[in-house]
Structure 1
Amino acid sequence: MDHGGTGRSTRLDCVAAQATRTGSPLGDGIAISEVSERTNAPENEYGDLALFSMTSAATDLSAFISDYSNGASTIVYGATYGAAVVERLIHLALPTVTGYVMDSISTSSGAYLKFFEYMSTSDTDFSEVSDKVFFSFVNWIKSAEPTFTPRDFPQH
């Protein structure tokens, strides 16, 4: 599975609205007059947009595992976007899947509101990591720098 923008996916483009084309009133921006045409364009081109849902992706993955599994046991690994798909796959409860590994995704299903993950608060949520771990490492590097200064290059 691959999420958009990593180089292996198709860019969603809207010819109807002319955004990203020279005919657009705002160039690569979106003019208000283009909004209604732009909102209908993906469904007109690709059909039912429910096909792009997490449930649809997890259902496709479930079908793939059912069709191609060795029949004994399967451990499913998902990184970045794939981890979110794996989280949805867990809900489908495949009997041949004996384990799930989710790597590098922020998911919140089932979390109480006070623990819900919001990307807008991630700087605050992870500040302890940056303050205590990262900056202490940076300070250690600064204090150790004289020890590792190359001798064959001029000092500045």
Structure 2
Amino acid sequence: MSHQHDMPMPMPMPMSPGSMSNNDTMNMKDMVMHMSFYWGKDATILFQGWPNHSLPMYILSLFFVFLLSLATEVLSVSPAAAKQWTSPVAGGLIQAGVYALRTALAYMVMLSVMSFNLGIFVVAVAGHTVGFFLVKCRAAAAREEDATGFTPKV
């Protein structure tokens, strides 16, 4: 009995003959969708053809996903600048804009993880963890500054 759910699932080819030109070449490596976690640089992350089976581009994509997840956590804190505005509408617009950006970044991280590549999964979790740590360290430093009246060296 074979376990088909662990095997890559081939993606369907375009149905209309005119949808692919003679210049478009696709091989089966580009048309595989994994249904379980796997290791390796041969992944498609966010955009077709990226990182394109290239180790340097895969490493760049790992760094990119790490930064996306880190930014998601950092943006989870309400911007201090929004509180300084005299107009509640302006402050609300800033907070809504930051929220929209954070949500977009979170969805991009989610779509990256849906590549089922373990490297991408690990850096996404690491980015969220580092971002959470930075946010909490900053909050603790701000509380200490409020309590003592001077800025601690962090």
Fold in common (TM above 0.5): no
Q: TM-score, normalised by structure 1?
A: 0.24
Larger Rg, first or second structure (1 or 2) = 1
Higher helix content, 1 or 2? 2
Higher strand content, 1 or 2? 1
Q: TM-score, normalised by structure 2?
A: 0.25
